[in-house]
Chains A and B, each alone.
Chain A
Amino acid sequence: MSITRRQLVGAALAAAAIPVAGPALAQSAASRWFAGTTEDNGVVYRATDFKKIKPQWRRQLVKYYSTEPQGTIVIDTRHHFLYVIFENQTALRYGVGVGKEGFKWYGRAQIDRKAIWPDWTPPPEMLLRRPELPKFMKGGPDNPLGPRALYLYRNGGDLGYRVHGTVEPWSIGSDVSSGCIRMFPEDVIDLYQRTPIGTNVLVLEHIAEKGI
């Protein structure tokens, strides 16, 4: 007996009957945050609709008073901003989302590794909290790390913290349930370009700690 495509689809729907309504609804609610698709390194992903994004979370040039040298990345976890220090007391500022339990670490680090469309292996603690997560996910448009990841190291050791993209643009500017420092996919691609290996990172709970 041959199995028709319709039967297969029917079986798949039946198997997924209960959870299907949730994701389907979530999908339609989520879609208003996107404006079509765009391509990067052979991957087609959902483009952020920046008209829906509050102005303060969009990439912009701001004044920045500190003694940090140019090129340094400064992250203000409380205010959800990431800065790349420019010349003449200015910085390029991006909005970020911060993991609630993701950043209990503050201090200096450097970017020793960068990846394009990174794979994701949720850490064991996260799997304990959320057993429904896959143990491994290949890089791609649905991967929560998004199109780029910058890995934070200190003294040659991986700190386990990353700056990465997101598939949930609405989470930028807030504390989210999991993850490290997340950015709009367009922004993390932009940051990747501006961040050579060795770039110094300063993670602050609050910028006033080090701001002048």
Chain B
Amino acid sequence: MTNPRAWARAAALALALATALTGAGCLGTTETVATPNVTDAPAGAGINIPPGSSEDYIVNVGRRTYFKADSAEVDATAMVTLDKQAAWLARYPAWKVKIQGFADDPGTPEQNMALSLKRAEAVRTYLASRGVAPDRMRVKAYGRDRLVRDCPEIECKSQNRRVITNLEGDEDI
């Protein structure tokens, strides 16, 4: 085994096993076991994701929906993700969500703040129409705060024009 990645995997596996044996593993969170800080080491439960955990939600549903320039319209692609979110939330009713709206669009900071709020509210309205109880959702607008990447090109903008339906209790994005 001369390949460093193979070593890393073996080390990760050994650690995971050791942790499982000592009972330090903790179902339902994404930080179950200490794995080495190398690319490709497991960041969660690998393929044995506990159903109903935040990791299940992140890997099998997805938190982000994206919006076109200057728009708060929930498009057909966003609806597919939101339908999955609503179905998951119906199945696991203990979770609440914080709907975080973002913008990186033409206009003033105030206009971006207003647009990010409109986006978050559009997501809340859609999820409510799919049966998620209003008291399980709250919205928060961020405007142009927390840009994923700052550049004038679409490759930056498209990632910033987003809403994140974050599980309450999960780390903020």
- Interface residues in chain A, defined as those with a beta carbon under 8 Å from any beta carbon in chain B: 55, 58-66, 69-71, 79, 81, 86-93, 110, 190, 192-194, 196-200, 207, 211-212
Contacts and interface: CB of A to CB of B under 8 A. Distances in A.
Nearest to B48: A55
B2 interface: no
Interface in B39-82: 39-44, 46-47, 49, 55, 58-60, 62, 64, 66, 77, 80-81
B41 A62 contact: yes
A79 B43 contact: no
B149 A60 contact: no
A197 B157 CA distance: 10
Given A65-B39, A194-B62, A60 B157 contact: no
Given A196-B66, A197-B154, A58 B42 contact: no
A67 B48 CA distance: 28
A63 B155 contact: no
Contacts of B148: 69-71
Contacts of B43: 61-64, 90-91
Interface in B127-165: 148-149, 153-155, 157-159, 161
B158 A197 contact: yes
Nearest to A114: B77
Contacts of B154: 110, 197-198
A190 B148 CA distance: 21
B59 A192 contact: no
Contacts of B41: 62-63
B21 interface: no
Interface residues of B, number: 35
Given A69-B148, A87-B173, 4 more contacts: A65-B38, A70-B148, A71-B149, A193-B62
Contact of A69 (B47, B149, B171): B149
Contact of A62 (B39, B49, B60, B66): B39
Contacts of B39: 62-66, 207, 211-212
A93 B58 contact: no
Given A87-B173, A88-B171, A63 B30 contact: no
B108 interface: no
B100 interface: no
Contact of A61 (B5, B42, B173): B42
A79 B155 contact: no
B171 A60 contact: no
B159 A69 contact: yes
A62 B62 contact: no
A60 B44 contact: yes
30 contacts: A58-B47, A59-B59, A60-B42, A60-B47, A61-B43, A61-B58, A62-B39, A62-B43, A63-B35, A63-B39, A63-B40, A63-B41, A63-B43, A69-B148, A70-B148, A70-B159, A71-B148, A79-B5, A89-B37, A92-B58, A92-B59, A93-B40, A190-B62, A193-B62, A193-B77, A196-B158, A196-B161, A198-B155, A199-B159, A211-B39
B109 to A, nearest CB: 21
A97 B5 CA distance: 19
